[in-house]
Amino acid sequence: MEFKVLKDFRNLEAWQKAFSLAASIYTETARFPASEAYGMTSQLRRCAVSVASNIAEGSNRRTTKDFVKFLFNARGSLAEMETQILLSGEIGLIANIGEHLAAINEVGRLLNGLIRSLTRKTEAGKART
């Protein structure tokens, strides 16, 4: 059975990349020691899922302004994830953090572009009224 999505956030490149990043974080954290299950593993997974989830939730909100608010939330979770990746590298949980940081930067770039685009549309709409 297939469900109909109100607005298909899955077509947004920012969501696609954020989703892939979350999946890679889950794979990476599966290798963390059991002693980190309630620490870094849990924290990294929560913020990784939060990025894609905020994009999806925001896209189905009533207004563009609300969507932008959720995109800013996604950006905040992305910064949190970057901090945790850096710390994980520093304490030896992740050997090569470059791939993750590159993906974080790409998602951030896409979020910034989407925010700019939606903000321009909102401002253009206000100028016409």
DSSP annotation string for 16-73: HHHHHHHHHHHHHHTTS-GGGTTTHHHHHHHHHHHHHHHHHHHHTSSSHHHHHHHHHH
Q: How many folded domains does the chain comprise?
A: 1
Tokens of 107: 């998602």
State pLDDT tens for residues 71-94. 999 999 999 999 999 999 999 999
The answer to whether residue 5 is domain-embedded is no
Token representation of residue 1: 């059975």
* Structural domain contains residue 100: yes
**3 found inside a domain:** no
Whichever domain contains 116, its CATH number is 1.20.1440.60
**pLDDT > 70? residue 127:** no
Q: What is the mean predicted confidence (pLDDT) over 31-36?
A: 95
In a domain, 44, yes or no: yes
Q: Residue 119: which domain range? A: 13-128
70 is a domain residue: yes
